[in-house]
Copies of this chain bind each other. A is one copy, B any other.
Amino acid sequence: MSLRHAILGIVSAKPMTGYDLIKTFGNSVAYTWAAGQAQIYPELHKMERAGFLKSRTAARGAGEKRVYAITPAGTKELRRWVSEPVSYPAERDALRLKTTYMEMASPADARRFFFEHIDHYKRYLERLHVRLQVVNELSGPLLRARLAKEKPADHKAIIAWKALGVRGQIARAEAEIEWAHECLATLDQLHPVEGAAPKKRAVHKAPSKAVKRAG
């Protein structure tokens, strides 16, 4: 149940509305724990009932909005969770499963998948590098709010751990890109492109036909 703890982590830096929280989940936190609006509002209600959050109404023009702040019990729960061992979830990866049966797809489709894989993770990497810079330059408003609450002696550690979280995602993304290149290389060996200069050892295949096509 980490959605709860992701929320506690965010509001521990600064009280905010559900809407603000949703935006935060769309930016910084999304790199490690994603959550949608339909999950966040009900969870806020549950957390207030459980005593981890306390809300107050604030003015918004003529109307009102609800601002959530962490309670001492919430802070305690956050620390408890941080110190508790993680349990590793079962592996589940659709593209990897698909790769296992990739001989059933056309070489063109296969090529497309791995290009898309590289593309996906390259774009993810770009956002991660931006995020890493934001962390290292302390240019994020939430991080600034957090640092303002903590002793200057602790700032170094706070920044280091945030950066390492991002670096972990970067490492994973880079591994995915490298793997996809490996897949493309294998694909080129299995199905040499007509007219293309053979790069390495050409694979000698007697039948010129493609492996197998859907149908």
Count of chain copies: 2
Q: Which of B30, B98, B178 contacts A82 (CB 8 A)?
A: B98
Q: A83 with B97: in contact, given A175-B171, A175-B172 (CB under 8 Å)? A: no
Residue numbers in B under 8 Å from A92 (CB-CB): 2, 32-34
- What's the tally of chain A residues with a CB closer than 8 Å to chain B? 75
Contact A34 B100 (CB under 8 A): no
Q: In whole angstroms, what is the CA distance A179 to B161 when docked?
A: 12
Is A86 at the interface (CB under 8 A from chain B)?
yes
* Main DSSP-derived SS at the A contact region: helix
Contact A91 B30 (CB under 8 A): yes
Nearest B residue (CB) for A100:
B165
Considering only residues 84-140 of chain A, those with a C-beta below 8 Å from chain B are: 85-106, 109, 112-113, 116, 120
Contact B164 A171 (CB under 8 A): no
Is A156 at the interface (CB under 8 A from chain B)?
yes
Task: Tell me, rounded to whole Å, the shortest Cβ–Cβ distance linking A125 to chain B.
Answer: 13
Surface stretch bound by B, among A47-55, A61-69, A182-190, A193-201: A182-190
Given A30-B90, A168-B176, output 10 extra A-B contacts at Cβ < 8 Å.
Answer: A82-B98, A82-B105, A86-B95, A89-B94, A99-B161, A100-B162, A103-B154, A153-B207, A156-B190, A171-B176
* Complex A-B: 10 CB contacts under 8 Å: A30-B90, A34-B91, A82-B102, A83-B105, A83-B106, A86-B98, A99-B165, A102-B157, A157-B211, A172-B172
